[in-house]
Amino acid sequence: MIGIAAAMMGLIGLVFALFLVTANKRFAVETDPRIAQLEEAFPGVNCGGCGYASCAAYAEAVAQKGEKIDLCVVGGDDTTREVAHVMGVKVSDEQKDKLVAVVFCQGDSEASAFPGVYKGIPDCAAAVYSQDVAKRCKYGCVGLGSCVAACPFDAIHLSPTGIPYVDAEKCTACGNCVIACPRDLIEIHPLKHDAFVYCKSLDPGPIARKVCKKACIACNICVKAAAADENPDAVYMEKNLARVNTQNYSAKPEYGEKCPTAAYNSNCNSIRKDEVMARLEAQRNAKQAVEVGAGES
């Protein structure tokens, strides 16, 4: 009896095995081999800068949905070329401008009014939502470092006076800090442009200046300077705040020379920017020299 039972169990197992093999062959879904190759080409940091939750999701979108191949901000041009090779397409040799995060606030502990001390959860969003922010300016940086915690590349830190600054060398423009800031004080812009109004206060001038020495007070001096330079579209006034036109980035640092609060400024809240610019310029010059040499030969 034991032998018969064992034989029956073996027969049943064999039948199920044959069924699973047949089902596997019949219902198998073919995997695009390019997806694995694309995943290997991407940095694998899953920062979300491409707009997808992970490098794997972006690889799948490129391979199966025809997504753009140049969305990886971390890998840059080198990764784009690798992806182009996998997909069998050509890519322009023209280098894109490096993008970096820009912090639009100068209201640190030396410039802003702090009537109290925040004692809640050490998170900027929590402080804003609880309306328990120590800083009087309702538009300024909370200073609790949520952007620092969100950066996967160690590219943003708090200064000793409580304002985030960006390391241009490490920043990949992934946008995580942009999402983390509850007051929308961080934006992504080309590294080569540094003339901005580093303030987002919409308060009337007298109020803005009372709560922060570095606030824009809507004096229109920078707007008039741009107009006098026959560049009227470079800077404009909107809701008590001067703004640089980021559609053309034609604003110049000198438009802020007479700004009474230094709200219109250049190269604020960043480090190593000049070093990165110099290196990129050297790379461009070297590339142009190679191209000229190849053309003459």
Tokens of 62: 């490129």
> Residue 89 has what pLDDT?
84
Taken in order 102, 91, 43, 57, is the CA torsion positive or negative?
Answer: positive
Torsion of CA 93, 97, 101, 106, to 10 degrees: 170
> Residue 192 has what pLDDT?
93
Burial 133-171 (b: 16+ CB within 10 A, else e): bbbbbebbbbbbbbbbebbebebbebeeebbbebbbebb
| Helix, strand or coil, per DSSP, at residue 94 | coil
> Residue 23 has what pLDDT?
57
> Residue 184 has what pLDDT?
97
> Residue 33 has what pLDDT?
86
> Residue 39 has what pLDDT?
87
Q: Give the list of residues 6+ apart from residue 186 with CB closer than 8 angstroms, or none.
A: 101, 102, 103, 104, 147, 164, 177, 178, 180
Which residue ranges form the domains of the chain, and what is each CATH number? 33-87 (1.10.15.40), 99-272 (3.30.70.20)
Nearest-angstrom CA–CA distance, 161 and 111: 9
In terms of Cβ atoms closer than 10 Å to its own Cβ (0-12, 13-18, 19+), residue 197 is buried
The single-letter code of the amino acid at 252 is K
Strands 164-167 and 270-271: parallel
pLDDT tens for each residue of the chain, 297 residues long: 666 766 677 677 666 666 666 656 665 455 788 888 988 989 888 888 898 989 999 999 998 888 988 889 888 888 888 988 888 888 766 667 899 999 999 999 999 988 888 889 999 999 999 988 889 999 999 999 999 999 999 999 999 999 999 999 999 999 999 999 999 999 999 999 989 999 999 999 999 999 999 999 999 999 999 999 999 999 999 999 999 999 999 999 999 999 999 999 999 999 998 898 888 888 778 877 666 665 665
Give me the phi and psi of 122, to 5 degrees please.
-75, 65
- Does the reported pTM lie above 0.85? no
> Residue 16 has what pLDDT?
66
